[in-house]
Amino acid sequence: MPIYRLLDGFDNYLSLKVNCEIYINSAFIDNHKQWEIERVKNGFEKKGILKRIHGPFMDICPGSSDKKVRALSQERILEALRLCAGLGCNDIVFHSHYDPVYHKRHFDEWFSFSKMVWSNVSAEAEKNNIVVYIENSEDDSPEPIIAILREYPLFKACFDLAHYSIFGKESWQNLLRMYPKGSIGEVHLSDNDKKEDQHLVLGEGSLDVEPFLAEIDTYKEKPVITIEPHSNEDLLMDIEYMKRFQG
């Protein structure tokens, strides 16, 4: 739920009593008011609703070969971490920002540059008792995220089925077996036609949503499931879809 959409319909959303992953973009980082932070923090606590944060991802590139781009990317990520702490959250999602078109042939260089940022992020997260989840976006294989997880044991993976259905090469079943055991702490769910990241209502696209849910239900350490509707109407339909799997 984007933070401004959440604030616009705050009381209506809280009435649903559904846990929420809040997307914090760079505009909110620059322009937020303290009363907005307090409203979200206190409102969720009063209702007993859990919350976590999705950090900014547009124009972020922690693995850039340009030191100024890396510096700005790190600044945005660390600002989001501090907002996460201010909102009373202990979990935040960031993308790996791996682009196979540019980075595949220079993986070691990309990873070396990335570590210059993620090492500082890891230290800040540990200081604030925050778990960082690294999400696949354009990643065509699990290699970039697995490399990050091995370097930073306090990090976990966030697996986005919709993203992988578009960019991935292996089946999602084979891919999940490649992740270190217990490393997937969250999954993102939306549906699409396997061509574009459409964020359709679950069950309205071409993805194997039910087999995927059945697979992760076998995990000893159950990941958090985050649905990603792009409208309030879709949100209600996705909630009804997920209710079928409660038990």
Q: What is the mean pLDDT of each run of 10 residues along the chain (247 residues)?
A: 96 95 97 97 96 97 97 98 97 97 96 98 97 97 97 97 96 95 97 96 96 95 95 94 83
Domain of 140, CATH number, reads 3.20.20.150
pLDDT, tens digit (0-9, with 9 covering 90-100), for 154-200: 999 999 999 999 999 999 999 999 999 999 999 999 999 999 999 99
Is residue 246 in some structural domain?
A: no
Report the number of distinct structural domains present in the chain: 1
Give residue 65's pLDDT.
96
Domain range spanning residue 147?
A: 3-241
pLDDT, tens digit (0-9, with 9 covering 90-100), for 74-99: 999 999 999 999 999 999 999 999 99
Dist CA 96 CA 73 (whole Å): 12
Give residue 208's pLDDT.
93
Is residue 19 in some structural domain?
A: yes
Give residue 244's pLDDT.
87
Is residue 91 in some structural domain?
A: yes
Is residue 234 in some structural domain?
A: yes
How many angstroms separate the first and last alpha carbons of the chain?
25
pTM of the model: 0.96
Give residue 245's pLDDT.
83
Give residue 246's pLDDT.
72
Give residue 247's pLDDT.
58
Is residue 204 in some structural domain?
A: yes
Is residue 247 in some structural domain?
A: no
